[in-house]
Amino acid sequence: MSTATTGPYGSAHGLAYDGAAMLGRQLRRVRNNPGLLILTQTMPITMLLFFGYVFGSALAMPGEEYRAFLVPGLLVATAANGIMTGMFQAAQDTHRGVTDRLRTLPVSRAAVPLGQSVADVLVTAAGTVPVLLVGLAVGWRVEGGALGAAGAVGLLLLFRFATTWIGIFLGLLTRNEEAAGQLGGATFVLPLLSNAYIPTDGLPGWLRTVAEWNPISAVTTALRDLFGNAPVPQDAAWPVTHPVARSLAWCAVLLAVFVPLAVRRYAHGGR
């Protein structure tokens, strides 16, 4: 009496199949509502122009040099917003009952957060292109070769993948759309406590330590290094002095902590 069915359940194959279906869902949501996407993508460009010309004229650094310094910082700061988008989406789905609907289906427990995070990385990749184009227009250049640039983009997307999982876990934890929106807004301060917008060597000692231990600083320094925009500061804290290796380590640690937490939270619904 059952409807004809196909394909696998369970196993890695099942995870890939369900994950692909959930990825398709997220991309369809973006396609159904392109206005939101455009709005979120214009944000870093607006900030690049504002910061680049307003701060750029006030800092000791020459304006053009500051804008080249700023582009990698803004890309990483935007990638850190994965916490916000991941959290809001997961909380919205939970709040509106979509999460529970999916949990009653024979769907691999990791597929839903996986589909969400992969979709988010793809959208971020697309959103990086206009930021880089505007960056080129205001004086930023790739000065470290094509391989370095490819590595920079790859690291950026890996970082986004990690922050989205943090967000998904927090969203499943809050379960409330509005609370997630409020909390997500607070993540705006995270890049302010890093070297994304300013060099950290002018900060008071303790604040400089905090800022340099912020994963955003390591990833930003790595991007500046790979793009060839700025030298690696050698007097900085440990995570920043070998930025590429230590950024990869940061991403690995964040994923190792938050992927299992998010999947477990999703599977049990917290109860």
Partner 1 sequence: MTTTYAVLSEGLEKRFGTVHALRGLDLAVAEGTVCGLLGPNGAGKTTAVRLLTTLLRPDAGSARVAGHDLVREAAAVRRRIGVTGQYASVDGDLTGRQNLRLFARLHRVRDAAARTDALLDRFGLTDAADRPAATLSGGMRRRLDLAASLVRRPDVLFLDEPTTGLDPASRNRIWDAVRALKADGTTVLLTTQYLEEADRLADDIALVDRGRVAHTGSPAELKALVGAYAEAVVADRDALARAAAVLDRVTGAAPALDHERRTVGAVSTDPTLTLPRLVRELDAAGVPLVDASLRPPTLDDVFLRLTDGNGSDDGNGNGNGNGNGSNDGRELAA
Footprint of partner 1 on this chain (CB under 8 A)?
1-10, 18, 21, 24-25, 28-29, 32-33, 93, 96-98, 100-107, 268-269, 271
How many Å apart are CA 6 and CA 79, to the nearest integer?
Answer: 38
What secondary structure letter does DSSP report for 151? H
User: What distance lies between CA 209 and its chain's CA centroid?
Assistant: 23
Nearer to partner 1, 64 or 177 (CB): 177
What's the min distance (Å) between Cβ of 16 and partner 1?
A: 13
Residue 152 backbone dihedrals phi, psi, to 5 degrees:
-60, -45
End-to-end C-alpha distance for the chain, whole angstroms: 34
Nearer to partner 1, 97 or 231 (CB): 97
- To which residue do tokens 């002018």 refer? 202
Q: Are the C-beta atoms of 18 and 111 separated by less than 8 Å?
A: yes
Nearer to partner 1, 100 or 143 (CB): 100
What secondary structure letter does DSSP report for 57? T
What's the min distance (Å) between Cβ of 57 and partner 1?
A: 42
Q: In whole angstroms, how far apart are CA 126 and each of 31, 93, 121, 129?
A: 13, 24, 9, 6
How many Å apart are CA 147 and CA 255, to the nearest integer?
Answer: 25
How many Å apart are CA 15 and CA 111, to the nearest integer?
Answer: 6
How many CB atoms neighbour CB 84 within 10 A?
24
Nearer to partner 1, 93 or 212 (CB): 93
What's the min distance (Å) between Cβ of 266 and partner 1?
A: 12
What's the min distance (Å) between Cβ of 139 and partner 1?
A: 39
What's the min distance (Å) between Cβ of 45 and partner 1?
A: 25
What's the min distance (Å) between Cβ of 30 and partner 1?
A: 9
Nearer to partner 1, 1 or 147 (CB): 1
Nearer to partner 1, 105 or 252 (CB): 105
